[in-house]
């Protein structure tokens, strides 16, 4: 039987105590009914293995138009503040054969060749951002998220998709729109206006790209549309997915990893000494601080027996909790809330999805974050949190897990702008200066 009665917890749309809420939900069992922003009830899934099962198998779907009766029947208003996460038609929200059909052109366009070709530009973008930091007045408190963690992925994703430059162009508009896209505490009016701005920007962008094709991912996706593999709506909605997720998750990955390393100097020392790698730091950050806490809603395609006496009814929505899975004490031990690069289970997480829903952008995100981290700590070896006694405020989101800002002290670079020194073992795409160890 399904759990009856009042929801276990009404989820705070601000996400200020998201991990505290997840811990409290976990005490209710493997699947607990909660109330999401806007009064929508859903089953919150706890535990790594159960999250993997529901991601990988056909028991659940993200296609609200086929498998969520409340959406199909209009019981859930199209003005629901989180409706944009349900209404889009892309490869993530598709089910079965539609998922395979939509994912194929994305995989074809998101090739290893394209990622490898972009890496030299990633290094240039990172180095240019570090040069800007080095030019700031000594002793100034710097918001590293705003000045480094966000600009680098934004420029990379715009290069990948061929988004043109310009102060008033689509790059600047995209940056503003994404900042509001993941804010789950945003007002209904602002959420609707942001969605309109997003589609207007993409319509103009696609029109320009059709007139000026290039060797970029957007042009490749337009070609797939012209060959009949995608509808126009699917083309646009897949671009929304790739542009927003490809940016925000990498920003959070860099932001969270820098904060964790600075807040745990003993763990940073492991990387500096070569006893751990930058990839180790990133994987443990992905486990502990999943850049995306959840990926919208999924729906029970059939009655799902979680355990004897607990069944999720067909058609009910559920939340696959990437953030909760990463802190599952049954898998990661009683200290699952601790940042530990030596943890043997660090790589066992679902922060990049799982099974057929694994993230196509993982190779680029990991290479990009590795270059960013190694270069940042090499240029500013005395980098420190500006106020270690007071953790930075979380983003207003139950979907995106990062910080509103990351105040740091650079303490001045110890090497000139032309020197790129690698501390610790290098990860993918990281270069080392000859003669350095």
pLDDT tens for residues 66-87?
Answer: 999 999 999 998 888 888 888 8
Write the pLDDT tens digit of every residue in 358-380.
888 888 899 999 999 999 999 99
pLDDT above 80 for 101: yes
Extract the tokens encoding 189.
Answer: 């009016």
* 141-143/407-409 β-pairing: antiparallel
Q: Which pTM value belongs to this model?
A: 0.89
CATH number at residue 389: 1.10.630.10
Q: Which residue would you say has higher pLDDT here, 267 or 119?
A: 267
Separation CA 206–CA 227 (nearest Å): 16
DSSP, collapsed to helix, strand or coil, labels residue 316 as coil
pLDDT above 80 for 149: yes
Of residues 244, 239, 87, the one with CA closest to residue 181: 244
- Residue 433 located in a structural domain: no
User: What domain range includes position 392?
Assistant: 9-409
pLDDT at residue number 412: 53
Write the pLDDT tens digit of every residue in 179-224.
788 888 888 888 889 889 989 999 999 999 999 999 888 998 999 8
Separation CA 287–CA 265 (nearest Å): 19
Residue with tokens 């993530």: 92
pLDDT above 60 for 123: yes
- Residue 419 located in a structural domain: no
The DSSP secondary-structure symbol of 35 reads: E
Separation CA 366–CA 374 (nearest Å): 12
pLDDT at residue number 85: 85
Least confident of 288-297, 388-397, 408-417: 408-417
Separation CA 109–CA 86 (nearest Å): 25
pLDDT at residue number 6: 53
The backbone torsions φ and ψ at residue 200, rounded to the nearest 5 degrees and listed phi first, read -65, -45
- Residue 432 located in a structural domain: no
Write the pLDDT tens digit of every residue in 250-285.
999 999 999 999 999 999 999 999 999 999 999 999
pLDDT above 80 for 430: no
- Residue 254 located in a structural domain: yes
Residues 6+ apart with CB under 8 A from 9: 21, 24, 25, 32, 34, 35
- 3-state SS of 414-428 is CCCCCCCCCCCECCC
- Residue 423 located in a structural domain: no
Extract the tokens encoding 43.
Answer: 């089953």
Extract the tokens encoding 406.
Answer: 């990351």
- Residue 1 located in a structural domain: no
- Give the rounded percent of residues in the chain with a pLDDT score beyond 90: 62
Write the pLDDT tens digit of every residue in 279-316.
999 999 999 999 999 878 999 999 999 999 999 999 99
pLDDT at residue number 109: 63
Separation CA 299–CA 301 (nearest Å): 6
Structural domains in the chain (count): 1
- Residue 382 located in a structural domain: yes
- Residue 416 located in a structural domain: no
**Average pLDDT over the chain, rounded to whole?**
88
pLDDT above 60 for 144: yes
Separation CA 331–CA 203 (nearest Å): 45
């Amino acid at each position: 039987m399904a759990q009856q009665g009042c929801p276990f917890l009404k989820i705070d749309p601000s996400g200020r105590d998201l991990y505290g809420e997840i811990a409290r939900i976990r005490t209710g069992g493997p699947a607990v009914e909660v109330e999401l922003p806007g009064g929508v009830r859903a089953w919150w899934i706890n535990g790594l293995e159960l999250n993997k099962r529901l991601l990988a198998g056909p028991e659940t779907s993200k296609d609200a138009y086929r498998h969520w009766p409340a959406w199909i029947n209009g019981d859930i208003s199209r003005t629901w503040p989180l409706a944009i996460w349900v209404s889009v038609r892309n490869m993530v929200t598709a089910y079965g054969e539609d998922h395979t059909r939509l994912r194929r052109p994305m995989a074809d366009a998101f090739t290893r060749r394209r990622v490898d070709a972009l890496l030299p530009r990633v290094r240039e973008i990172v180095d240019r951002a570090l040069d800007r930091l080095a030019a700031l007045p000594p002793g100034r408190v710097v918001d590293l998220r705003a000045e480094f963690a966000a600009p680098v992925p934004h420029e990379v994703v715009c290069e990948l998709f061929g988004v043109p430059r310009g102060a008033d162009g689509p790059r600047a508009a995209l940056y503003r729109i994404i900042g509001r896209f993941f804010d789950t505490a945003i007002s209904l009016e602002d959420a609707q206006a942001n969605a309109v701005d997003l589609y207007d920007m993409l319509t103009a962008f696609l029109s320009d790209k059709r007139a000026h094709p290039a060797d970029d991912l957007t042009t490749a996706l337009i070609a797939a549309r012209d060959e009949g593999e995608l509808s126009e709506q699917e083309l646009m909605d897949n671009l929304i997915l790739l542009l927003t997720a490809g940016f925000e998750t990498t920003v959070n990955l860099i932001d969270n990893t820098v904060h964790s390393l600075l807040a745990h100097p003993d763990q940073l020392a492991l990387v500096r000494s070569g006893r751990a790698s930058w990839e180790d730091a990133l994987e443990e950050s992905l486990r502990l601080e999943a850049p995306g806490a959840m990926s919208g809603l999924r729906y029970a395609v059939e009655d799902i027996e979680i355990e004897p006496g607990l069944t999720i009814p067909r058609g009910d929505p559920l939340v696959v909790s990437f953030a909760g899975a990463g802190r599952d004490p049954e898998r990661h031990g009683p200290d699952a809330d601790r940042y530990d690069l030596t943890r043997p289970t660090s790589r066992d997480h679902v922060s990049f999805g799982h099974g057929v829903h694994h993230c196509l952008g993982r190779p680029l995100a990991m290479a990009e974050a590795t270059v960013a981290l190694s270069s940042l700590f090499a240029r500013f070896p005395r980098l420190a949190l500006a106020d270690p006694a007071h953790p930075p405020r979380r983003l207003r989101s139950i979907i995106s897990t990062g910080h509103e800002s990351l105040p740091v002290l650079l303490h001045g670079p110890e090497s000139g702008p032309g020197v790129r020194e690698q501390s610790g073992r290098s990860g993918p795409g990281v270069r080392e200066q000859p003669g350095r160890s």
